[in-house]
Every structure is written in C-alpha cells, then in structure tokens.
C-alpha cells in the first residue's frame, strides 16, 4: 500500500505507526463522495472539522520538519537558518491557533442542547461563552471545559502579537539551539525562551486537546461500533511531530 502524503485514511482498528496519528474526531470523517449512510447530517460538521484539523496537523508537521532540518549541526550555523526558522515559526504558531479553532468547532457541536446559543467561530468565543453561561452548557459536557486551557491563552497571545501587533518571531541562535525572541517597540520583550520546547508543548497540547474533545463528541454523537479507531491521519511528514516532542528537552537551555 502506498503511503498517503498527508490525509485521513480508512484502516483496520490498530495502533498508529510513526507516520500516523489517531484522533477520535477522525473516525467521523468520510469523503463527501463516500458517506456512510448510517450517519445522519449532524455528523457532517464533525467530518468537516476532522478534515480541517488533520490538514493543520500536516502543515505543522512540515514546519516541524523544517525546523529540525535547520537544527542539525551542519545547518544551524548557516546564515539562512535563523531567517527560515523565523518564518516557519510564525507559520507554526498561526496554524496551531487555527487548529485550536477547529477543535473548538467540534466541541461546540455538542456543548448545549440549544445549538443556536453556542458560538461556532472560535475556541476563544466558545470558552468565554461557557464561562459566562455555565447553565447553558449541557450537563454531560461541562467537564470538557474544566480542562487546563492556559497553554491555549498563551498561544493566542503570541499569535495576536505576531498577526495584529507588529511583532516578529526573531530567532536567536547560539550555534546549538534556537531561541524565540519576541519584541515590540514601546512595550519591550514578550518572549526570550528556547524555541523547541514552546513548539513541542504546543504540539502535544493540540494532540491532547483533540483526544479530550473527542471523548465528549463520541458520548453525545455515537458512531457505529465498527467505525471506532478506523481512521488515521497518515502522512510522509507526520513523524516530525513526534520527533519534535522527543528532542525538545535537549534544546531547552535558558535563552540569553
């Protein structure tokens, strides 16, 4: 079987390989031309979200692979390294933020009995709604919002500085690791930290959040038993996400 370049595939229920990633939301995915007739229209929204989330993860794996490439001893001291890693870091943070919104849309589909009340445009709006209107959240779904979202708010802050406030992901290199230096005139330093731990923690948190939200979607929108764990995100660059998480602790020396 040829390996997919980066898409959700159908497979027998099994553990993912190093170039695959499973999330419960993927089990809802059907290509629009091959829809499972046992599923109702409610599942279409989750299928679409699964595809969006998978696409974001593929892009993140490409960015992770580029950063790991320039991290190699033979590349890190090359002048282009900090320029490329700076651009890729900004793309990574922006897409990670987008992936959070996709997961927020998935959770919004089961967050309340009255769907007309629930924000469906961003995770930020959904979290604020749940905080301000706890009684409108479906009782079975309330534990979903007890999750530690602090990492998301930090990611959102960095992304907003980059996209809306004129900051740049300046990359400092000490010949052994990359550091993220985020500075804004008239405000000062926002970040001076090792880069890889920031990106690795974001990646792990995204994967964990996908698993967390999947549990509540599965409880409220059950699938036929023969569909569980039968969809994987498979791609030739997915292993870079796992590698980023694995090696990040080696590149966590405090930034100057």
Per-residue pLDDT reduced to its tens digit, 47-59: 999 999 999 999 9
Mean pLDDT over each residue of the chain, to the nearest integer? 95
Q: Under 8 Å CB-to-CB from 46, ≥6 apart: which residues? A: 25, 28, 106, 109, 217, 221
Calculate what percentage of the chain has a pLDDT beyond 70. Answer: 99
pLDDT band of residue 34 (cuts 50, 70, 90) is confident
* Residue 3 pLDDT exceeds 80: no
Q: What is the pLDDT of residue 124?
A: 97
161-168 mean pLDDT: 91
Calculate what percentage of the chain has a pLDDT beyond 90. Answer: 89
- Quote the CA–CA distance of 28 and 255 in Å, as a whole number: 43
* Residue 173 pLDDT exceeds 70: yes
Q: What is the pLDDT of residue 41?
A: 85
pLDDT band of residue 216 (cuts 50, 70, 90) is very high
> CA geometry: angle at 119 spanning 114 and 120, to 5°?
105
pLDDT band of residue 239 (cuts 50, 70, 90) is very high
Decide if 221 contacts 110 (C-beta within 8 A): yes
Q: What is the pLDDT of residue 54?
A: 98
Q: Where are the alpha helices (DSSP H) in 72-149?
A: 73-76, 80-108, 123-132
- Of 98, 104, 89, 94, the residue nearest 159 (C-alpha): 94
* Residue 1 pLDDT exceeds 70: no
What is the signed CA dihedral for 53, 54, 55, 59, rounded to 10 degrees? 100
Q: What is the pLDDT of residue 2?
A: 61
- DSSP string computed for 26-59: GGG---TTS--TTS-THHHHHHHHHHHHHHHHHH
Q: Coil, helix or strand for 67?
A: helix
pLDDT band of residue 150 (cuts 50, 70, 90) is very high
166-177 mean pLDDT: 94
Dihedrals phi, psi of 72, to nearest 5 degrees: -60, 145
220-226 mean pLDDT: 95
- Quote the CA–CA distance of 130 and 119 in Å, as a whole number: 10
Q: What is the pLDDT of residue 213?
A: 98
pLDDT band of residue 73 (cuts 50, 70, 90) is very high
């Amino acid at each position: 079987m040829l390996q997919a370049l980066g898409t959700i595939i159908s497979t027998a229920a099994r553990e993912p390989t190093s170039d695959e990633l499973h999330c419960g939301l993927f089990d809802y995915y059907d290509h629009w031309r091959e829809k499972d007739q046992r599923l109702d229209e409610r599942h279409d929204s989750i299928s679409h979200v699964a595809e969006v989330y998978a696409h974001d993860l593929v892009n993140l794996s490409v960015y992770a692979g580029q950063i790991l490439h320039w991290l190699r001893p033979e590349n890190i001291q090359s002048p282009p390294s900090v320029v490329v890693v700076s651009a890729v870091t900004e793309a990574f943070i922006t897409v990670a933020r987008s992936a959070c919104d996709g997961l927020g849309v998935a959770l919004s589909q089961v967050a309340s009995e009255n769907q007309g009340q629930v924000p469906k445009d961003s995770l930020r709006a959904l979290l604020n709604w749940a905080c301000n209107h706890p009684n409108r959240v479906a009782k079975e779904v309330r534990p979903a919002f007890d999750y530690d979202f602090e990492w998301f708010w930090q990611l959102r802050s960095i992304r907003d500085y980059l996209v809306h406030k004129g900051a740049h992901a300046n990359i400092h290199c000490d010949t052994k690791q990359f550091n993220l230096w985020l500075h804004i005139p008239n405000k000062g330093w926002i970040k001076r930290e090792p880069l890889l731990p920031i990106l690795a923690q974001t990646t792990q948190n995204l994967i964990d959040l996908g698993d967390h939200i999947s549990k509540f979607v599965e409880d409220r929108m059950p699938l036929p038993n023969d569909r569980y764990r039968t969809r994987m995100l498979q791609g030739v660059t997915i292993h870079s996400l796992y590698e980023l998480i694995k090696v990040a602790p080696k590149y966590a020396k405090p930034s100057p």
